[in-house]
Structure 1
Amino acid sequence: MTDLLIRTLSFSEFDARISQLNEVLIDCVAGGASVSFMHPLSVQKATEFWQKVASSVGNNERIVLVAEDEHQQIAGTVQLLTDQPENQPHRADVAKMLVHPRARRRGIAQKLMQQLEVVALEAGKTVLVLDTATGSHAELLYQNLGWLRVGDLPKFALMPDGTFCSTTFYYKHL
């Protein structure tokens, strides 16, 4: 992917981009990504999810980054959940790191995570936390980017096919 733009998706852009966001989410779930949804994921359920995300962006509770390809199509996305308890103003959670299957193995996830760290610092967040399915390709990505593994929690969630999966927790100090 020669021309890739990583940027923040504004609240006002969600309606126009929701079909692309749906495509990324639905295709990731269909490919087995454990990102809170079961397969098959309907367009309606995906749309409802992104509408909630948009509302959260509008309320300044989260920041959504997108990776756009040379055709201005969304190839990937990641979220920074900035709305934390009063005693954790320095912390944020990372959620829904998604790269469309057609765009994988091109460094998009790495670029999204690197930009996420810049955005987090700009928002005053110096401790980031995330979890991912144990044994997933994402684990290697996070480790290569300097994230520290905390541990695993067995049977934390279900994979899209209904089987149990463990999750591995990571953190990073910026």
Structure 2
Amino acid sequence: MTEIVPVSGPELVTYADELAALLVEAVEGGASVGFLAPLDRADAAVWWRERAAAVEAGSHQVWIARDDERVAGTVGLVKAPLPNARHRAEVAKLIVRPSARGRGVGRALLTAVEEWAAEEGLTLLVLDTETDSLAERLYTAAGWTACGSIPRYAADPSGALRGTTLFYKELGHPAAGEEGASQ
């Protein structure tokens, strides 16, 4: 049974070493999540700890999937900082341990983010992912809309440039008269 839980800033620091192991395993497995191989576990732990202040401030949210008391996956949500964008956020770093793939962990993490965002009044989520990846198939199956791709956008863990597909998902629609009100 997989449990999805949000983590606070201090909890993120507590989980940093376990999340670092997850991140290293994902990068070694070829996941394009912003890091090149080989990724040093200590550097990965520092990266996670550096997110704690933003989580504590509320500009970032992080969830973990626990499976038999270990971290099976994680996902983040980054709120847009500018006043004209407070209705949207970016899904970031959806990572599932290779041994936990195919069991619905990624979908459960994505659902948790979407539900939380809707409860917070966010109406638009965006993300980008490697074109033709397992993640791209997950987002498509979860009802996200692909709105284009950019060739050679980011390097995969081996350093090869890969295309990135941009996705969005609307969680609600503006009330009558709100859309275009500033036009």
Q: Structure 1-normalised TM-score?
A: 0.95
In the TM superposition, 1:4-153 aligns within 5 A as 4-70=2-68, 72-153=69-150
- 2:180 is aligned to none
Q: Secondary structure at the match of 1:106?
A: coil
Structure-1 separation of matches of 2:87 and 2:17: 33
The residue identity in structure 1 corresponding to 2:102 is R
Question: Structure 2 counterpart of 1:160, which letter?
Answer: P
Alpha-carbon distance between aligned partners in 2 of 1:32 and 1:62, rounded to the nearest angstrom: 25
Residues 13, 48 of structure 2: 8 Å contact kept: no
Native 8 Å contact 2:27 2:35 kept in 1: yes
Does the CA-based 8 Å contact 2:60-2:76 persist in structure 1? Answer: yes
- 2:16 counterpart SS class: helix
Paired residue secondary structure (1:92): strand
Give how far 1:44 is off: 2.2
Bigger Rg, which one: 2
The answer for the alignment partner of 1:171 in structure 2 is 168
Work out the number of aligned pairs and report it. 171
Counterpart amino acid of 1:155?
Answer: R
Matched residues, percent identical?
A: 40
More deviation, 135-144/51-60: 51-60
CA distance in 2, matches of 1:163, 1:54: 30
Query: What is the rounded CA distance, in whole Å, between the counterparts of 1:38 and 1:108 in structure 2?
Result: 24
C-alpha displacement of 1:122: 2.0
Please list the CA deviations of residues 91-124 of structure 1 after superposition, one character each: whole Å capped at 9, or x if unmatched. Answer: 0000000001111110000011111111111222
Pairwise CA RMSD of aligned residues? 1.0
Task: State the 4+ residue runs in structure 1 displaced beyond 3 angstroms.
Answer: none
Q: What SS does the corresponding residue of 2:159 show, helix, strand or coil?
A: coil
- Partner of 2:27, secondary structure, is helix
Deviation at 1:48, TM superposition (A): 1.8
Deviation of 1:53 after TM superposition, in Å, equals 1.4
Equivalent pair of 1:129/1:169 in contact (CA under 8 Å): yes
- Alpha-carbon shift at residue 49 of structure 1 (Å): 1.0
Instruction: Could you tell me which runs of 5 or more consecutive residues in structure 2 were left unpaired when the two chains were aligned.
Output: 172-183
